[in-house]
Structure 1
Amino acid sequence: MNFVAPESLVFWTTIIFIILLFLLRKYAWKPILGAVNDRENSINNALESAENARKDIQNLKADNERILKEARAERDGMLKEAREMKDAIVAEAKEEAQVQASKVIEQAQATIQSEKQAAIADIKNQVAELSVGIAEKVVKQELSDKNKQIKLVEDMLKEVTIS
C-alpha cells in the first residue's frame, strides 16, 4: 500500500482549497451575491410597495371618513330642511284654516243678524196688525153707543194739551 505523507496531504488540500475558493469566487460567488442582492432588492421593493399600499389605504380611509362626514352633514341638512318645510306647511295650513273659520263665523254672524232683523220686522208687523185689530174691535165696541162716543172724545181732548 502506498501511503502519502501527511505534509504533502496538507499541501495538496490547501492548494485544492485555494483553487476551489478561486473558482467559487470567480464563477459562483458573483452569481450568488447577485442573486442575494436581487433578492434583497425585490424584498425592499416589496416592502416599499407594501408601505405605499398602507399609505394608500390610510388615504382611502381618510377620504371615506371625509365623504361619510359630508354625506351625514348633507343628510342632516336635508332632514332639517324637510322639518322646516313641514312646519311651514303646517303653520300655513293652520293660518288658512283660521282665516276660513273667521270667514265662516263672520258669514254666520251676518246671516244671524239679517235673520234677526227680518224676525224683528216681522214681529213688529204682526204686533201692528194685532194692535190695529184690537183697536178696531175696541173702537167699534166703544163707538156703538152715542154716549160713549161723546165721553171718549171729551177724554181725548182733556189729554191733548195745546202747546
Structure 2
Amino acid sequence: MFTTVLASTHLGNFIIATAAFLVLFLLIRLFAWKNITGIFDQRAQKIAHELDQTEKALQSAEIFANQRETELKGVKAEADKIIEGATLVGADNKKAIIKAAHQEAAEIKERARLDADKAREDAIESVQKDVAQMAVDLAEKILKEELTPERKVALIDQYLDRLGDK
C-alpha cells in the first residue's frame, strides 16, 4: 500500500511538474517567445553585420596594402633608375675627365717638346754665331789684317756651312 501511495505520489508529482512545465512553456510561447527569438535574431543580425563590416574593413586594408606595395615598388624602381642614371653620368664624367687630362698632358708634352726644340735651335744658332765670330777674330789675328764686313759675313757663312756638314 505504501508503495502504491508512493508510486501514485511520484506519478502525481510527475504529472503536476509536466503540466506546470507545459503551462509555463505555453505562456512563454504566447507572451515571451517572440521577444526572446527577436533578441536572438537581433543578436544574430548584429553579429552578421559586424562580420560583414570586419570583412569589408579587411578587404579595404588588403586593397590599401596592395596599393602601398605597388607604390613602394614604383618608388623603388624609380630610385633604381635614378641610381643607374647617376652611375652612368658618373662613369661618363670620369671618362671625360680622364680624356681631358690625357689631352692636356699631351698638349703640355708637345709644348715642352716644341720649347725644348726651339731652345736647342736657339742654342745651336747662338753657339754657331759665337764660334763663327771667334773664328773670324782668330783668322783676323792670324792674317793680321782687318777684314771688311762683307768678308766677315762670307767667312762666317763658309764656316757655318762646314759645321753643318759635320
- The answer to whether the superposition gives a TM-score over 0.5 is yes
**Of 62, 70, 73, the match for 2:74:** 70
Q: Indicate the SS of the match to 1:122.
A: helix
Which segments of 5 or more consecutive residues in structure 2 lack a partner in the other structure? 1-7, 146-166
**Of 82, 106, 118, the match for 1:102:** 106
Residue type of the partner of 2:137?
A: G
Range that drifts further, 53-62 or 68-77: 53-62
Range that drifts further, 33-42 or 132-141: 132-141
Listed as ranges, the matches of 1:6-85 within 5 Å are: 10=15, 14=19, 17-85=21-89
Q: For each residue in 1:114-153, what CA deviation from the matched residue of structure 2 results, as whole angstroms up to 9, or x when unmatched?
A: 2122111101101111111221222239xxxxxxxxxxxx
CA distance in 1, matches of 2:53, 2:46: 10
Residue type of the partner of 1:32?
A: I
Listed as ranges, the matches of 1:87-98 within 5 Å are: 87-98=91-102
Offset, 1:56: 2.0
Percent identity of paired positions between Structure 1 and Structure 2: 26
**For the structure 1 residues 138 and 22, does the alpha-carbon distance in structure 2 shift closer, same or farther, using more than 3 Å as the test?**
same
Residue type of the partner of 1:64?
A: R
CA distance in 1, matches of 2:17, 2:63: 66
Report the structure number with the largest CA radius of gyration.
1
Partner residue, 1:150: none
Offset, 1:54: 2.1
**Of 107, 118, 123, the match for 2:127:** 123
Which segments of 5 or more consecutive residues in structure 1 lack a partner in the other structure? 142-163
Offset, 1:36: 0.4
CA distance in 2, matches of 1:108, 1:100: 12
Residue type of the partner of 1:28?
A: A
Residue type of the partner of 2:111?
A: Q
Offset, 1:33: 0.4
TM-score by length of structure 1 reads: 0.71
Report how many aligned residue pairs link the two structures: 136
**For the structure 1 residues 103 and 13, does the alpha-carbon distance in structure 2 shift closer, same or farther, using more than 3 Å as the test?**
closer
Root mean square deviation, CA, Å: 2.6
CA distance in 2, matches of 1:84, 1:11: 99
